Amino acid sequence: MPVHHYTGLAGQSYDQPAQAGVLVVNLGTPDAPTAQALRPYLAEFLGDPRVIEYPRWLWRLILHGVILRLRPARSAHAYARVWTPEGSPLRVGSEKLAAALQARLDQAAAGPVRVALAMRYGKPSVGEQIEQMRRAGVRRLLVLPLYPQYSGTSTGSVIDAVADMLKQLRWPPELRIINSYHDDAGHIEALAQSIEHWWAEHGRADKLLLSFHGIPQRYVAAGDPYLHQCQVTTRLLGERLGLEASQLSMSFQSRVGREPWLQPYTDETVRRFAHEGVRRLDVACPGFAVDCLETLEEIAMQNAEFFTTAGGETLRYIPALNDSDAQVASLGALILQHGQGWPEFAVSDAP
């Protein structure tokens, strides 16, 4: 039988006061908008069995024999279109959100709560951040994947990464995971206010389209709740905004490969709207907490072009919540709610 070696902190003081930690996790990003940087990132992302549920031997042949030879260059071009002087929009936006949540909890929580940001793919990794938090004395860990709607391809993969790290530790911390927040009242209100503020500033389009990231249909058929949770978010947001069925639609973007994904597809939907006479179309992406390649390049650039080429006048992308006060307040309240019973998460008496 093999001997297991577990990681511990030799010589640590057990009298050290325990801390609570919040690990905020987003999808990840390459280090640079280059094919060289995209190759290892895509290998990690597309090599995750949660993302691609094919037989491993077959998928390795496809991934390393075909995809990683062709896709890095194409993806690098797309990333270059949205890359900023600060770096990747997803990384920069996620860092700002995590910093704002830290400031929020410093005021709202009764005890010290350490907030850290990890990326499921790329850097900093989930394992690296948990290790740093452990060395800082974190004994109670709350994990917040920045995916409002649960899918095994996203939140499920974060849970895998956390479990892979914790099972190596001699003394793992207490653990809680926010599985989803697709129907959280504070989150729905934050989304609604964001859209209303956009309309107040820019005017209202003929129709509002909510575009979610797609997943293969067979994942939903196998029991993934993602489609249902997207439908719930759409219904609650439509009710809060007072929209009729004809004013609001839902679609799914970012499909790859040849098998059927959740439908209707966003690119086909915006073209159909243009052909049906919709002149102005607003698109929001409630599945993305922070703006990224899929919102800034795929929606605001690619699909905007699809819409106008098909005869529409203008497609306007409504930005993600990012580090807005509304998102920080809603996620801060969600963290305090899920941390109930841990002393650090009691609501502070400070003004």
CA distance 123 to 147: 18
- Asked if residue 232 and residue 136 are part of one domain, the reply reads no
What's the number of domains the chain is made of?
2
Contact between residue 170 and residue 8 where contact means Cβ atoms under 8 Å apart: yes
- Asked if residue 164 and residue 199 are part of one domain, the reply reads no
DSSP string, 259-286: S-BSSSBHHHHHHHHHHTT--EEEEE-T
- Asked if residue 193 and residue 334 are part of one domain, the reply reads no
User: What would the pLDDT profile of 198-236 be if each residue is shown by its tens digit?
Assistant: 999 999 999 999 999 999 999 999 999 999 999 999 999
- Asked if pLDDT for residue 350 goes beyond 60, the answer is no
- Asked if residue 218 and residue 190 are part of one domain, the reply reads yes
> Is the residue at 13 inside a domain?
no
Q: Give percent of the chain above pLDDT 90.
A: 91
pLDDT of residue 13: 67
> Is the residue at 299 inside a domain?
yes
User: What would the pLDDT profile of 84-122 be if each residue is shown by its tens digit?
Assistant: 999 999 999 999 999 999 999 999 999 899 999 999 999
> Is the residue at 55 inside a domain?
yes
- Asked if pLDDT for residue 351 goes beyond 80, the answer is no
Listed in sequence order, the residues at least 6 apart from 35 whose beta carbon sits closer than 8 Å to its beta carbon are 72, 73, 75, 76
- Asked if residue 267 and residue 237 are part of one domain, the reply reads yes
- Asked if residue 160 and residue 53 are part of one domain, the reply reads yes
The H helix count followed by the E strand count for the chain is: 13, 8
> Is the residue at 66 inside a domain?
yes
- Asked if residue 146 and residue 203 are part of one domain, the reply reads no
Query: Which structural domain range is residue 68 located in?
Result: 19-181+326-345
- Asked if residue 173 and residue 131 are part of one domain, the reply reads yes
Residue with the larger pLDDT of the pair 6 and 185: 185
Residues tagged in the binding site annotation for Fe(2+)? 213, 294
pLDDT of residue 45: 97
> Is the residue at 93 inside a domain?
yes
Question: CA dist 284 to 50, 120, 237, 292, Å?
Answer: 26, 24, 11, 13
> Is the residue at 6 inside a domain?
no
User: What would the pLDDT profile of 129-160 be if each residue is shown by its tens digit?
Assistant: 999 999 999 999 999 999 999 999 999 999 99
Nearest to 255 by CA among 242, 268, 243: 268
- Asked if pLDDT for residue 293 goes beyond 70, the answer is yes
pLDDT of residue 28: 98
pLDDT band at 11; cut points 50, 70, 90: low
Residues tagged in the binding site annotation? 213, 294
- Asked if residue 61 and residue 207 are part of one domain, the reply reads no
pLDDT of residue 35: 97
- Asked if residue 130 and residue 88 are part of one domain, the reply reads yes
pLDDT of residue 257: 85
- Asked if residue 340 and residue 311 are part of one domain, the reply reads no
> Is the residue at 14 inside a domain?
no
Contact between residue 172 and residue 315 where contact means Cβ atoms under 8 Å apart: no
Contact between residue 267 and residue 307 where contact means Cβ atoms under 8 Å apart: no
> Is the residue at 102 inside a domain?
yes
Contact between residue 118 and residue 129 where contact means Cβ atoms under 8 Å apart: yes
pLDDT of residue 4: 74
Q: What is the CATH number of the domain that holds 306?
A: 3.40.50.1400
Contact between residue 284 and residue 276 where contact means Cβ atoms under 8 Å apart: no
- Asked if residue 272 and residue 154 are part of one domain, the reply reads no
